[in-house]
Amino acid sequence: MPPVKKSDQGSSAEYSTQSGLPLENHYAPGDLGGKGWQYEDKLGAPGEYPYTRGPHRTMYRGKPWTMRMFAGFGTPEDTNARFKYLLEQGQTGLSTAFDMPTLMGYDPDHARSLGEVGREGVSVASLDDMERLFADIPLDEVSTSMTINAPACVLLALYIAVAEKQGVSPDKLRGTLQNDMLKEFIAQKEWICPIRAHMRLIRDMLTYCTAEMPRWNTISISGYHIREAGATAVQELAFTIADGIGYVDLGLKAGLDVDEFAPRLSFFFDVHNDFFEEVAKFRAARRMWARIMKERFGAKSERSWLLRTHAQTAGVSLMAQQPLNNVVRTTMQALAAVLGGTQSLHTNSYDETYALPTEEAATLALRTQQIIHDESGVPAVADPLGGSYFVESLTDDMEAAAMEYIDKIDGMGGIVEAVEQGYPQREIARSAYDFQRQIDRGERPIVGVNKYASESEGDNIPTLKIDLSPEESQKQRLAQVREQRDEARVRERIADVRRACQDPDGNVMRPIVEAVKAYVTLGEICDVFREEFGIHTDPAYL
């Protein structure tokens, strides 16, 4: 967002970033001094600790960022076709969106799934669905991201089972599982069990993947949903890093060596409209994580110090009014992510305030990345904004403000305790309210909404139409699966999953992998979680 001017007076203190960090009229060498460090020594070079200037020495000269467009709707066949289309258009990685029943651990024939099957993501309930989703896509040649959290262990097991049917062993699989339940309790609110039960399931996946899937990123620690819920950039940075600390603590308590699992943790950040603040956020995040891993956790491997991150342009910044303006917003956000040094990027489609994106809109969003990469010249130089008085000072300010939050969370006993007390939730709610009030009062301009608005609310743009037929077809396929499977074997595998849940020192992953191979469904496994761990209901924090 452009700096907010709080009055018509001329003082530089009246301008701030979207997070409220004060902005001077201009920046000079003096803004970098007096902070206990020599400017040249602190800045360093790309690929050097603490990685402020980027995770790799050559950055995009050595390897382009992964262009990973989010896709998922309707039946598995529908999404499979979109995957293939995007790969043909030059996409370099798959990113899978699941529908709400799948995200909440329900099969398509459950009463709570009514009207939601395939509506905002792909419907997956069984190994049959997963086979159709990845039909004719060689899983040893692609990197696959799955945006799934509460039932993440089940979807990972399904992916393993499909790969094995293709002759691909788990150690050959590359990709990322979001699997970040802390941000679910903080922001997105898609859960099954209480927080500590979910942390146990994440522990089991972390230990399983460390041993069996060395190329797989077990947790994508997600600030994206925290920001979309209304957090400022500083809060997004702080709460996301605090979540990361919580997962490292979880792995250590499970008896893992930090250098065994930390290199397979990844991050996922939002990219909003305040251009330079977003650039500074990525730079500060890398530096903070490197120092925390080295100094707080004693990690010895440089791979443990590196913050690997995917980024996505801000869905919440897209407007229904004058929707073609969203193309410009997305372009600026994508450029900020690239200048900040992201390693993977999804660009939103301009029509997403109306519906899931059409193929044409998704292609334009992908072309946005390709133009930045191939035509802008920006990727030719690593950290091209490095050394800017403004950017370096803002990076410092972002880090300092985020560390204040982290110190407060540490004082509460850690992120799990802070979430149970509702602390991050309250902070985000206040920020979201303040942000909306600024828009309503016209203090924060939104082009086409409260500034330069036109009489017509939106343009006549084509939108993707999804009917209710996937719901019926998915129910029918699920009924066929249940008719054809070995019910005695199904009962045995469900009992194995239940016993693993009842053993606090056991690991649920291997029983779940065997269960999905027997065509036990997602909902049947998640019902075991609900029965053994209980169902979470959100307390009233505000």
Query: What does the pLDDT look like over 287-329, one tens digit per residue?
Result: 999 999 999 999 999 999 999 999 999 999 999 999 999 999 9
Tell me which residue of 239, 206, 207 sits closest to 224, measured CA to CA: 239
> Cβ distance 424 to 234 under 8 Å?
no
> Cβ distance 493 to 514 under 8 Å?
yes
Q: How confident is the model at residue 31 (pLDDT cuts 50, 70, 90)?
A: low
CB burial of residue 334 (10 Å; 0-12, 13-18, 19+): buried
Q: Is the pLDDT of residue 457 over 90?
A: no
Fold of 12-440: TIM Barrel (3.20.20)
DSSP labels, 200-255? HHHHHHHHHHHHH-TTEE-EEEE-HHHHHTT--HHHHHHHHHHHHHHHHHHHHHTT
What is the identity of the amino acid at 233?
Answer: A
Residue 528: CB atoms within 10 Å: 23
> Cβ distance 329 to 273 under 8 Å?
yes
- Give helix 195-212 / helix 152-165 axis angle, nearest 10°: 30
Task: Enumerate the domain spans of the chain.
Answer: 12-440, 473-533
Residue tagged 């985020």 (tokens) = 402
Lowest mean pLDDT among 225-229, 337-341, 357-361, 421-425: 357-361
Residue tagged 């339940």 (tokens) = 181
> Cβ distance 314 to 270 under 8 Å?
yes
Residue 103: CB atoms within 10 Å: 24
pLDDT over 70 percentage in the chain? 93
pLDDT reported for residue 259: 98
Report DSSP state, residue 13: G
> Cβ distance 278 to 337 under 8 Å?
yes
38 vs 40: CA distance, rounded Å = 6
Q: How confident is the model at residue 7 (pLDDT cuts 50, 70, 90)?
A: very low
- Reduced to 3 states (helix: H, G, I; strand: E, B; else coil), residue 30 is helix
